[in-house]
Structure 1
Amino acid sequence: LDGEAMPVGGVGGTRLCDWWFADEAVLIDTAGRYTTQDSDKAVDRAGWEGFLDLLRRTRKRQPVNGAIVVVSLTDIAAADPVARAAHARTVRRRVTELSDRLRLRVPVYMMFSKADQLAGFNEYFDDLDAEGRGQVWGMTFPLAGGVEAFNAEFRLLLDRLDERVYERLQAERAPDRRALLGGFPLQLASLQGPLADFLAQAFGGTRLDPAPFLRGVYITSATQAGTPIDRLTGMLARSFGVDQKRAPSLKPVAGRNYFLKRMLGEVILGEALLVATGSKRMRRLRLLRIGALGTIAAATLVVSLGLWRAEATNRVAVERADEAIAGYRQQLAGVSLDQVSDDDLPSVVPLLDTARALPREPAGWLAGLFGLSQADKLEAVERSIYHRSLERILLPRLVWRLEQQMRGQIDNPDFLYQATRIYLMLGGAGPLDPALVRDWMTLDWQARFPGVLNAQMREHLAVHLDALLAEPLPAVTLDGALVETARASFSRVSLAARVYGRIRPEASAAAVPGWTPAAELGSAGAQLFTRVSGKPLTDGIPGFYTAAGFQTVLLPRLAGAAKAVAEESWVLGRNDVVPSDEAALRTLERDVVALYAADFQAQWDGMLADLVLAPFADRPAAIQGLYVLSSPQSPMRDLLVSIAQQLTVMPAPPPAPAGQAAGQPGGDAGAEQRKALAAVIGAATPDSAMPAVDALDQHFRPLKDFVGDGQAAPITGVTRLINTLQQELAQLGPDAANVPAALQGSGDPVQLLLAESQRQPAPVARWLQQIAASGQSMIGSSVRHAAATAFSGADGPGQLCKAVVARRFPFSPSSDQDAPLDDFARLFGPDGLFDSYFDSQIRPFVDTSGPVWRLQPVGGVTPPVSPATLAQFQRAAAIRDAFFPSGGNQPQIRFDLAPADDGSGPATLALGGTTIATTGDQARQASLTWPGADGMNPARISFDPAVADGGLTPGGVSAGGGGSIGASGPWALFRLLQQGRLSPSGRPEEFVLAFRSGASQASFTLRAGSSRNPFGKDLLKGFQCPVLQ
């Protein structure tokens, strides 16, 4: 197969089976009758199956590495579809038998030979050298692909042939050879259908009959002999009934073969192991081999480790300890130990981690068998190193950090008191509270090193801190001056403030749940509220500042907190004595409650100021939101009721039942609780005993009264108003025909909500104002949308206005297209489209009392049109008044026309059937009504009576050759007036109409029947249809 090796000899038919031995492979060429089995089927079948069994017995792992199916292109070209299909089915059966018999998925390489028999093949490829003839001409399919890709790949081969045609034609000089090579791509293209059919039937697949493993399709030529087939000439000869000229026979060229070398050597033989990928036997043998080798290796390793570990484990432990300690000391070289002046914890955490990670594993039972274990001694040394590291590296930096914090917060007594406590504990100047130190440091680290990236470092610091606090702390030199400065600062804090500061952190330890808006609003209500600060609704009031916090944390801990503050007198450097007499104790506890009440009020005032309604996205969202807010299960009601409950830190006693005086046995739990509080405070009556609580109750009394109890509570009336607004918005559909009546009456829910907001406490007042503003916006949007929809709808003026006004006379003076009078009357007439639309959609928003109409809001709702648009509606009303003075449904303009007494020359004015002359018997005044019976069509003035009957251009204006000016059409009068000059004479209804043609001129007096007339004004000229969006 190598081009340099000796070529294989022998060409001819195969009788039984030819074996071709080469250095790369063994090729077995079976007789063609084994494939077709058409001579003696039983004998051929037996020979074929015996051959396959022989391969399977002698080559159990890989009986074959592939199968090459060779079919001549001449057979494909010459065979009819029936014979071709039979041949394909035969190939399919043999390939299937090959795979089934050998139990392999054999890759099949389909080779179409004798390509030289196609006319033009030799001429087309005659320029190829040995390397070019050795390339692959065909297609290799993906492993998961198949025959479905043949047509696309074959098309690419044809495209490549077409690309070379021009190059080859230029290189070839012989005309007959140029004709052959030029037609070769078409010769090959004519075989695409037969080849595709053959491959589909031979290698196609179905669900019941999987496709064989077709690896590729290739076209080759081994020897160039025989007579080429010219399929194109043959088809043309058969079509036109002429004799086909037989192509000359080919003369073989020694040593030439096309497209074989690399196909065999690189493609087919290069994939020799491809068949192994599907071999279950090969995979099973490979797994067995790997398993056996693994077992042997594992056994050897176990034995070796057992022998080695007994001697080496203890030595390795010592070496590891020495290496680890040496590495630790190397890290320690760059760290200051004598005088710490920084709190750079991130830089020392790796060092502490190293000290903690020093190896402490036991040496193992093998080393112990021989008494060589040094594990206990090594562990003691390593623990000592780690603890000394904590004392000399971590502790000084914690102390330094506290000193810096104390200096930075010297004016913050509360912070300074707690920091000094921790500082004295770490310095050994006070009893150590590990939990308190741990909490302080953890909070500080969370503030200094926040985020997920620092989480691991914080965890490591916590582990090191626990290890430090687990052993007695060494003596640390503290900054006495700093301690005295701190004591001087927080000593100014009152005893009540310190007691209160001691109780406040205990709320979290008591697990008092906090209050959040989200919990009270529920999932539906949470969509309707938001916070001005941007905080989530799940962020609420700490549990300490709730009714439960007051009752279960503050009151029960008053006495104990005072005692604890006294026990911490070491922080102050003196012994504080908590007053023991009853009056002083009551005063102290009352002061603590007052501090709590101030913080309680600040917390809730902040929350109430922060809660607002979320803006509604659109009208449907507003309708749904207002429905939820006003429903019997209103989340707003639930929220306010919950707030009122939390603001009632002590429930008020109910009225005493009939026959039972107040204070007698039988009162409810709330009364008993108030008695208990009074006993703690030491007062005779609740009102005098709890001034801070009473002041707190009075501060929030308006909100609690608003919530009330029962249907008579103000909140009930407010939800009814919200429901009314919701129904109002629901009635405003997108096709609303009229402005809501409520906008013009006293029942406007928006205005009622605004008025109600003036009477209600915060935050209800703010919420009502938000709802009213949203309602106004939604109503205004609906009004604008309804106005725009009605304007352009079937009953609105929009569509007709565009059809009548756009590029039509008299609105466009230069246009030769007239506006139809009926459409003009329907649009501008009384009760016409403009009138009806204006009355139903816009009139409430317009003040028409002045000469210029002005827009005005209605019920806070912005008008649905702009001032420019309103000006066009006012102009439409002026057109109505001028053209329909009597209120009819057709335009009617009365006017008198008479010759002017100014010495005009002879002229005749003809308006339809009416004629007015400037001289002679017809020089008279005429009373006219436009359009009248004849529409005043045509309208013409003639300066020479001889041409009075001259023609006019249809629908236009004529300045005829006889000194005449005229026009025709329904607007002929106004077209004629446009050709003259119409001048006012001092009165709004009287004008002078003058015409000129060359040297001739004539004047008339035009007197309108009303001062509201279309003469002398640009009512129509330039009128534009209003635009509503």
Structure 2
Amino acid sequence: MKRLFSWLTRAWVLALFGALALALIVWFDGPLIAFNGNAPLESVSSRITLIAIIFMLWAGFFVGKWLIGRIASLKLMQSVAAQPAAADPASASASPAPSAGDTRSAAEVSALNQRFQEALAILRQARGGRRFGGQYLYQTPWYMFVGAPGAGKTTALVHSGLKFPLADKLGKEAIRGIGGTRNCDWWFTDEAVLLDTAGRYTTQDSDSEADKAAWTGFLQLLKKYRRRRPINGVIVAVSVADLLRQSEADRKTQAQAIRERIKELHERLGIRFPIYVLVTKCDLMAGFVEFFDDLGREERASVWGMTFPVADAANIDQLLATFPAEFDALEARLQARVLERLQQERDVRRRALIYGFPQQLASLRDLLGSFLGDVFQSSRYEENALLRGVYFTSGTQEGSPIDRVMGALAASFGIDRQVLVANTASGRSYFITRLLRDVLFQESGLAGADLRVERRRAWLQRGAWVLAAGLIVLMSAGLVTSYVRNRSYVREVASQVDAIDAQARNLVPNAGVLSVLPLLDAARDIPGGYADRNGGAPFLMTLGLYQGDKLGSAAQTLYQRLLRQTLLPRVVGRLKEQLRRGEANNPQYLYETLRVYLMLGDPNHFDAESVGAWADYDWDRNLAGHVTDDQRKDLSAHMTALLDHLQDDGPVTLDADLVASTRQALARIPLQQRVYASLLRNLQHTSLPEVSLASAAGRDAAIVFVRKSGEPMTRGVPGLFTRDGYRQFLARRDLAVADVVKDNWILGKDEAVTDPAAVEQLNAQVLELYYDDYIRRWDAFLSDVGIVPFHDLDQAARVVNVLAQPTSPLKKFLSVAAKETTLGDVKQTTLIDTAKGKLDSVKKKLENALASSDDAAPAPAATLQNPVDLHFDSLHQLASTGAGGASPLDSQLASLNEVFVYLDAANTAKRQGSPAPASDALMKLKQGAEGKPAPLAAMLAGVADAGSSLTLGSERGRLSSLWVANVASFCHQAIDGRYPLVRSASNAVTQDDFGRVFAPGGLIDDFFQHNLMPYVDMSKTRWSWRPFGNVSLGIPEDVLTQFQRAAQIRDAFFSGGGKMASARFELKPVTMDAAVTQFTLDIDGQTLTYGHGPTRSTAFQWPNGKVSSSVRVDYAPPGAGGSSGYSTDGPWAWFRMIDKGVLEPTAQRDRYNLTLDLDGRKVTLELRASSVVNPFNLDALNKFTCPAKL
């Protein structure tokens, strides 16, 4: 039963069952499977063919797999058999004569080869057996022994307890191995093939080149014929004798040799394989035989050593670090057994050996640990080894044991070493059999490039069987699912159709287009209907019972009927409404609307794109703000669906009266305007680039230019109004004439232009319209370009510096403008050249035509000259270059450079607190701007005015700071609220302060002379600020008035040029009341006396040089109040006396009448000043105030 179950679970048997099940499904359920109404398995022949294909695939897969394994095994046998050292005749003839040693070994090699050939023959004959089939060498695990000569590899195999089947055929010596060459022994067992390599392969110390070549060739052979797993593991053999007797250098050399061989295996074979370290000849440790002498056969076959976890193999260094602990655990196990063994043993010598054996083993720990580190320690330049474990074995007990412990004691105390009795062969083996069978051979699947890949491959194989079994379930479930889903689909369609019917009955006939949107959306979205017309049906619904074709066709018919009954009347209604309104201010829109309306009733001229474009534009214009983006998209989609099948049911009935009235209104549009409008529509969305500041002036455009309208730098003159646009305009003009004439059916008349003279006249009229538009566009663009506003002197200097460079953006811009406005040398492209391109879509043309009002174009010019070149002639001359390559524009750039130098110097002076240097650069620039073409004149004048404004504005700030710091403070302290500036004030300005403020060279005069005079026009009675272009210094006029008053005070009080105020004058009595008999006036000791006698003038000087000043009036007889006089004191005593009287000017500016009150009586004196410019009755003195700032 077990054998039967094993046979039934083989892969090819399970696959056969799956193929049979699939064949049954194909035979019985195949006719039920349909795709889009077709049943490909309905006929018997098609089902038989498919079943045959299934079994052919099954047979092909497993037979192919068997053949691959068999061929690989045969090739491997042949390659191994070809390895003997006997050379072919060709190579032998070319090789040197063999040595005596080679001749002697040739017989041995020949014999070994003969035995190996016999073994291969036996394997071939045994292919029918269970153990040795045609794929034996390919499928059986292979393990390789690696170790130094004499390490005990062969001994371990001989006494391993494995079964060697070929021993029955080849005799007992076959147990020693079948050698394909003198370099390797092949051990064929039931469980695996073991490769016992020669020790010199590991050390390569006899003939390194030959050993290395043989080793490399052998590895290539394995890789070639066992690609997936050349080997399943490596057994590294190291003998106890080598560990105990070799020097440290020899041990490291041996470890390095083993490491190199492992590295070569990794590199040559390209896989990662497990490595098992066998410590052989453990019987050479003193006490080993005695310690384990009580073990039975099964116990001796067990495993003694340590196995490391596979998960820790990636970190080899961490794994090696666990070795001491694992070794100590082994030693602890031995220690736990010592007491039991001592009790069992009676012989004293043997008991001593048993007692000391754990210590003998412990002496190996450091040696073995160091050896393992040398072999397996990680390196960034090598692949980490997959160390699986370290195991201790003994194949046969021969030779003298090594007592390392007693040897060390004897060396320490200087005593003779005791020689132990040599072991006698017992025919026993220790700890080998189960190690190979239960550990190594059971892990044959560990080898591989990537364990995850191997596991994935196994899961894929399992998945294939699951898939085959599940296919039956899936196909059966498919039919059930198709039925359930199609039934649900039919019910859903029926439900939606009922809902649509209810919506259609409740639809308001005259409602807007948005009212029909839900109804149309529902009809379009019926499952399988119009919305799904280009999509595939759900897969689960098409498994034999799909009903979507029938219901979908009916749903599309319903949708089209609803479109024609609901959407089309509303679109036609909008067309008629727009035609009735007339759109008198936009006849071109009216023309397009009539064109679309007529298309609906004329199948010969119907154009779905034109109708759809008009509807889209009308909805965009009239539904904006009342419709969402999704609703707007749905309307366009419904309109497209309507137009796709509109002509299927015949044309729309038109309103003949409406058509006639509209045609009559449109007949007033001149033919040339219609041609020009058509040309603009066709050329509006060409790929011609705009001429913008960014493209014309270069990367520095944003630094120096600004659009006055706020438009971005990247917007400018449309490409239609450039030289390239002009060229295309000329090329398409004839075609446009033909198109407009062709559309005469819209107006219902024949305007065919066939006469060459008439065609030429029409072309000229259209061209005149284009020229006028061309000039208007460029004038608007050029006038909209200006220089960026100046914010400060530093920025202004940088901008002007960029403008003045040889690569000036201004020069680039004007040069491009001049070039693009020169049309006289443009050659017309032929019609054939332009006909190669396709016209833009109708919707884009319509959008452009309807987006703006079509104002009446200018009347055509009487002549056919090029008005564009004439209009911009001055710009062309400015940018034209002479014989030396210079242009008139270069002189303007030189002027700009002078302005830059000036502005930079003014900016430096501002930072240093100095006045701006004198320069006429700004004035010259403004004068040079006069007469220049636009936009250069405005730009240069703007730079001049802005530069002047900045320099003057900067100067005002500097002057104001100087005034506040040097003049204003003292001025306010000295004169504010003091006499004589404030007549009613009791405190008076001192003579020194008055002179310091107002005298020639005083504070105010000095400030004015050194700072303000260049900016003041003093040629008129009232001073004014001298203008600099359109800007001034910016100081208020009332401040300048105060400086003029200060100058008047200076001239009146300081006519002599001194620093002290003074005045010379004469007084002469004119009249005096008769009641007064005597009048006396004393001014600082200067007196005038009058008693009604002859009058005479008396000269006076103010001040008279006295320290204190006073003025006194005396008269007789005393008045009614008893007073006979009064006086004034102080430096301004005379002016205070004048203020007590009444001073009246006369016709002569140097003469005044001064009337004094004498206690009710009057005396009048004539005051004659020394100059018409005098301090008496000085209005400037009364109105002067010291400015707080400028």
TM-score, normalised to structure 2's length?
0.48
Deviation at 1:828, TM superposition (A): 1.0
In the TM superposition, residue 336 of structure 1 has moved relative to its aligned partner by 5.5
- Summarize the alignment of residues 976-995 of structure 1 with structure 2, pairs less than 5 Å apart: 978=1139
Using a 3 Å threshold, how does the CA distance of structure 1 residues 891 and 675 change in structure 2: closer, same or farther? same
Deviations 1:1-47 (A, max 9, x none): xxxxxxxxxxxxxxxxxxxxxxxxxxxxxxxxxxxxxxxxxxxxxxx
Q: Which amino acid letter does the alignment assign opposite residue 706 of structure 1?
A: L
Task: Using the TM superposition, give the Cα deviation of residue 422 of structure 1 relative to its aligned residue in structure 2, in angstroms.
Answer: 2.7
Mapped to 2, the partners of 1:330 and 1:721 lie a distance apart of 83
Report what 1:707 is aligned to: 879
1:719 alignment counterpart: 893
C-alpha change, 1:485 and 1:1009, in structure 2 (3 Å) is closer
**Residue 358 of structure 1: aligned partner:** 526
Name the residue aligned to 2:1186. Answer: 1025
Q: Taking structure 1 as reference, are residues 350 and 769 closer, same or farther at Cα in structure 2, changes over 3 Å only?
A: farther
Q: Given residue 654 of structure 2, which amino acid in structure 1 is its aligned partner?
A: L
- Structural mapping, 1:464-503, within 5 Å: 464-473=638-647, 474-475=649-650, 476-487=652-663, 501-503=677-679
Structure 2: distance between partners of 1:577 and 1:846: 75
Q: Identify the match of residue 554 of structure 1 among 729, 732, 755.
A: 729
Query: Kindly tell me: are residues 726 and 918 of structure 1, through their superposed partners in 2, closer, same or farther at Cα, counting changes over 3 Å?
Result: same
Whether the 8 Å contact between 2:1153 and 2:1164 is mirrored in structure 1 is yes
Shift of 1:941: 6.2
- SS class of match (2:1181): coil
Residue aligning to 1:419: 593
Contact kept, 8 Å, 1:943 with 1:1001, in 2: the verdict is: no
Q: Please, which of 462, 465, 481 is the counterpart of residue 636 of structure 2? A: 462
Answering whether residue 926 of structure 2 is matched by residue 753 of structure 1, we say yes
Question: Within the alignment, does 1:324 sit opposite 2:492 as a pair?
Answer: no
Distance 1:410 1:858 in 2: 54
Shift of 1:639: 2.2
Larger deviation: 707-716 or 907-916?
907-916
Matched, 1:1014 2:1184: no
Match of 1:832 among 1002, 1006, 1016: 1002
Match of 1:697 among 865, 869, 879: 869
1:873 maps to 1043
Deviation (angstroms), 1:513: 2.3
**Following the alignment from structure 1 to structure 2, what is the Cα–Cα distance between the partners of residues 424 and 929?**
110
Q: Is the 8 A contact 2:1150 2:1168 kept in 1?
A: yes
Preserved CA contact (<8 Å) 1:313 1:364: no
How many Å apart are 1:934 and its aligned residue? 2.8
Aligned counterparts of 2:773 and 2:795: Cα–Cα separation in 1? 38
Cα distance, 1:336–1:678 mapped onto 2, change above 3 Å: closer
- 1 CA distance for matches of 2:668 and 2:1099? 108
Give the distance between the partners of 2:516 and 2:1097, measured in 1 at CA: 117
Please report how far the alpha carbon of residue 824 of structure 1 lies from its aligned counterpart in structure 2 after TM superposition. Answer: 1.3
- Quote the Cα distance in structure 2 between the aligned partners of 1:385 and 1:819: 109
Alpha-carbon contact 2:1151-2:1168 (below 8 Å) kept:
yes
Code of the aligned partner of 1:351: L
- The CA distance in 1 between the partners of 2:677 and 2:1178, in whole Å, is 86
Structure 1 residue 387 corresponds to structure 2 residue 555: no
Q: Percent identity?
A: 32
* Partner SS for 1:505: helix
Pair 883,387 (structure 1): closer, same or farther in 2 beyond 3 Å: same
- Residue 709 (structure 1) shift: 2.9
- In the alignment, what sits opposite 2:850? none
Which letter maps to 2:729? L
Equivalent-residue separation in structure 1 for 2:795 and 2:941 (angstroms): 18
The yes-or-no answer on 1:442 pairing with 2:612 is: no
Structure 2 CA distance for aligned equivalents of residues 594 and 308 of structure 1: 78
Find the partner of 1:541 among 708, 717, 723: 717
Amino acid at match of 2:631: M
Query: Structure 2: which 5+ runs fail to align?
Result: 1-476, 835-861
SS in 2 for 1:1020: helix
CA distance 1:1000–1:435, change in 2 (3 Å): closer
Q: Does 1:513 align with 2:689?
A: yes
Residue 1056 of structure 2 corresponds to which residue in structure 1? 886
* Residue 603 (1) aligns with residue 783 (2): no
Contact 2:731/2:830 (8 A) holds in 1? no
* Residues 63-89 of structure 1, C-alpha deviations (whole Å, 9 max, x = no match): xxxxxxxxxxxxxxxxxxxxxxxxxxx
1:401 aligns with 2:574: yes
Alignment match, 1:792: 964
Partners of 1:554 and 1:985 lie apart in 2 by 85
Q: How does 1:877-916 map to 2 (within 5 A)?
A: 877-895=1047-1065
Deviation at 1:704, TM superposition (A): 1.9
Task: Please name the residue that 1:64 is paired with.
Answer: none
Q: Counterpart of 2:1174 in structure 1: which amino acid?
A: N
Q: CA deviation at 1:974?
A: 4.0
Q: CA deviation at 1:389?
A: 2.0
| Residue pairs, 1:209-220, within 5 angstroms | none
The match for 2:989 is: 819
Task: Tell me: CA distance 1:1027–1:453, structure 2 relative to 1, closer, same or farther (3 Å).
Answer: farther
Offset at residue 394 of structure 1 (A): 1.9
1:866–1:993: structure 2 CA closer, same or farther, 3 Å change rule? Answer: same
Give me the whole-angstrom Cα distance separating, in 2, the residues matched to 1:984 and 1:696: 72
SS of 1:520's equivalent? helix
Q: Say whether the 8 Å CA contact 1:853–1:874 is kept in structure 2.
A: yes
Matches within 5 A, 1:668-679: 673=827
Q: How does 1:150-169 map to 2 (within 5 A)?
A: none
Distance 1:592 1:999 in 2: 100
CA contact (8 A) 2:929 2:936 kept: no
Q: Does 1:639 find its partner at 2:813?
A: yes
CA distance in 1 between counterparts of 2:640 and 2:1082 reads 118
Query: What's the offset of the Cα at 1:806?
Result: 0.5
Residues 333 and 524 from structure 1, CA distance in 2 versus in 1: closer, same or farther, beyond 3 angstroms? farther
Is contact 1:942–1:962 with CA below 8 Å preserved after alignment?
A: no
- Does structure 2 conserve the Cα–Cα contact (< 8 Å) formed by 1:566 and 1:577? yes
The 1-side partners of 2:928 and 2:1110 are apart by 66
Equivalent-residue separation in structure 1 for 2:592 and 2:1178 (angstroms): 90
Superposed counterparts of 1:36-55, under 5 Å = none
The Cα shift of 1:590 comes to 5.6
1:980 deviation in Å?
6.1
Distance 2:1152 2:588 in 1: 95
C-alpha separation between the residues in 1 aligned to 2:1177 and 2:750?
107
Amino acid at match of 2:577: Q
What amino acid does structure 2 have at the position aligned with 1:346?
L
Change (3 A) 1:440 1:763: farther
**Which deviations, in whole Å up to 9, do the C-alpha atoms of 1:161-184 show, x marking residues without a partner?**
xxxxxxxxxxxxxxxxxxxxxxxx
Q: Cα distance 1:490–1:1005, how it changes in 2: closer, same or farther (>3 A)?
A: closer
Question: How many pairs does the alignment contain?
Answer: 667
> Post-superposition shift, 1:924?
13
Deviations 1:453-477 (A, max 9, x none): 6433332222222222333533221
Q: Which amino acid aligns with 2:518?
A: P
SS in 2 for 1:460: helix
**Contact 1:783-1:864 within 8 A present in 2 as well:** no
Sort the Cα spacing of 1:693 and 1:874 in 2 relative to 1 into closer, same or farther, 3 A.
Answer: closer
Q: CA separation in 1, counterparts of 2:1022 and 2:734?
A: 80
Q: Distance in 2 between matches of 1:837 and 1:388?
A: 96
Partners of 1:575 and 1:322 in 2: CA distance: 55
- Separation (CA, whole Å) in 1 of partners of 2:943 and 2:1023: 32
Shift in Å at residue 880 of structure 1? 1.6
- Give, in angstroms, the shift of residue 402 of structure 1: 2.5
Deviation of 1:400 (Å)? 2.5
**How far is 1:641 from its partner?**
1.8
Cα deviation for residue 481 of structure 1 reads 3.5
- Alpha-carbon distance change, 566 to 320 in structure 1, aligned in 2, over 3 angstroms: same
Cα pair 1:413 1:490 within 8 Å, conserved: yes
Please say if residues 1069 and 1166 of structure 2, whose CA atoms lie closer than 8 Å, have aligned partners that are also in contact.
Answer: yes
What aligned pairs does 1:68-217 form with structure 2 within 5 A after superposition? none
Q: 1:399: how far off?
A: 2.5
The alpha-carbon distance between structure 1 residues 323 and 693, as it changes in their structure 2 partners (threshold 3 A), is farther
